[in-house]
Amino acid sequence: MTVALEIAVTSPAGVVVARDGGADRVELCVGLELGGLTPSQALVEATHETGIPAHVLVRCRPGGFVHDPDELDLMVREVRTVLRSGAAGVVVGALRPDRTLDVDALRRFVDAAREVRASAEVTLHRAVDHAADPVHAVALLADLGFTRVLTSGGAPTAAAGATTIAAMVAAAGPVQVMAGAGVTPHDVPALVQTGVAAVHLSAKRSAGGSHDGVPMGAGDDGSAHFVTDAAVVAAARAALR
């Protein structure tokens, strides 16, 4: 089985680095330091123009995965918007307060995606790693219409959660399991051994150029932003070969 390489990117420049480095697709978001948030329509359009398939994160805020009705309504609209702007798929997730999958919300996301494009791929994001039982959770995804799930096996990093990831692969049926979280090129061979269909990494490095003085908010403490590192993308591609 060929294992796909997905790179998380936050800019058109990062998309091009990932594409030229051999990535099969990108996950597009903003605010990686916040766990990732929905990107703008313009960023989705610019990414689409590069030619690489882009799976767009739809997450309206940081800070957990239990969403109120207004947030769910907004994300349903965002699902439609990003797909109409050229996304190949969407990356979504929602939990109930008891840490089980919010299956009603997930069905709404899937239905919204397939209303726009029947071929749209739908990925469950790492909300699954906050579920009470990630292995049981992935067993539900095929019936909900999901294409794949991104997971660290409920651990801080995918390498640490490799044993659970293997169990998730066994439970997922036709749903693809993609390992991600703290992945480095060195981790790739061991993650492939779990049976995953893809590995996911941000391949990021500091861009430098931090600003001094007054912080701009909780997500901007003055430190530098991150950019996609071509050498890390190439190393991950080589590891998969």
Q: Give tens-digit pLDDT for 45-69.
A: 999 999 999 999 999 999 999 999 9
Quick one: pLDDT at residue 207?
76
Q: What is the DSSP letter of 40?
A: P
Q: Which helix (H) or strand (E) holds 176?
A: strand 176-180
Quick one: pLDDT at residue 226?
81
Six token digits for residue 192: 């492939």
Region 157-166: mean pLDDT is 98
- Cα–Cα distance between 61 and 75 in angstroms, integer? 10
Region 211-231: mean pLDDT is 69
Quick one: pLDDT at residue 205?
85
Mean pLDDT of the chain: 94
Strands 204-206 and 198-201: unpaired
- Cα–Cα distance between 94 and 106 in angstroms, integer? 7
Proportion of the chain above pLDDT 70, given as a percent: 93
Confidence of residue 211 (pLDDT cuts 50, 70, 90): low
Quick one: pLDDT at residue 92?
98
Nearest to 46 by CA among 4, 94, 10, 2: 10
Contacting residues for 216 by C-beta, under 8 A, at least 6 apart: 222
Quick one: pLDDT at residue 214?
61
Contact by Cβ (8 Å): 59, 93: yes
* pLDDT tens, position by position, 67-86: 999 999 999 999 999 999 99
Global pTM value = 0.93
* pLDDT tens, position by position, 14-54: 999 999 999 999 999 999 889 999 999 999 999 999 999 99
- The CA radius of gyration of the chain, in Å to the nearest whole number, is 17
Region 185-197: mean pLDDT is 98
